[in-house]
């Protein structure tokens, strides 16, 4: 499984951006990218990179949410590429046959 990282606070909150009234979780391809983005965004200083797994994705998707892959951690987070849940699962090397959105609802 390929690691995809998101930023999480020690008490469990996930770092989110407000994007036109919707929640958007920025994702990173490596721990290093996540740390570099944190250094450039003071709002992320209380958050640490966490590798996503099925449980973390299920926790995030309990309410409507968007994902965006940050291609360059030195650019503004708003320049990320949008991902659907299915695309995120593919990036994590999980197929929709292995992990489906209905499985994440439990």
Q: Please tell me the total number of residues recorded for the chain in this structure.
A: 106
Model pLDDT for residues 16-69, shown as the tens digit of each residue: 987 767 788 999 999 999 999 999 998 899 999 999 988 888 888 888 888 999
Question: Domain map of the chain by residue range?
Answer: 5-101
| CA separation for the pair 44, 34 (Å, rounded) | 10
In this structure, what token pair is assigned to residue 28? 């990173």
Q: Is this model's pTM higher than 0.75 or not?
A: yes
Q: Which of 57, 45, 60, 65 is CA-nearest to residue 93?
A: 57
Q: How many CB atoms lie within 10 A of CB 85?
A: 18
Which residue(s) pair with 11 in the sheet?
none
Q: How confident is the model at residue 81 (pLDDT cuts 50, 70, 90)?
A: confident
């Amino acid at each position: 499984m390929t690691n995809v990282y998101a930023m999480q606070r020690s008490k469990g909150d996930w770092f989110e951006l407000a994007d036109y009234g919707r929640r958007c979780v920025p994702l990173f391809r490596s721990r290093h990218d996540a740390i570099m983005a944190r250094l450039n965004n003071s709002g992320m200083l209380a958050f640490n990179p966490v590798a996503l797994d099925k449980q973390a994705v299920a926790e995030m998707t309990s309410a409507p949410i968007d994902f965006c892959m940050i291609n360059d951690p030195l650019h503004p987070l708003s320049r990320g590429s949008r991902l659907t849940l299915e695309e995120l699962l593919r990036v994590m090397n999980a197929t929709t046959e292995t992990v489906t959105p209905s499985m994440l609802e439990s």
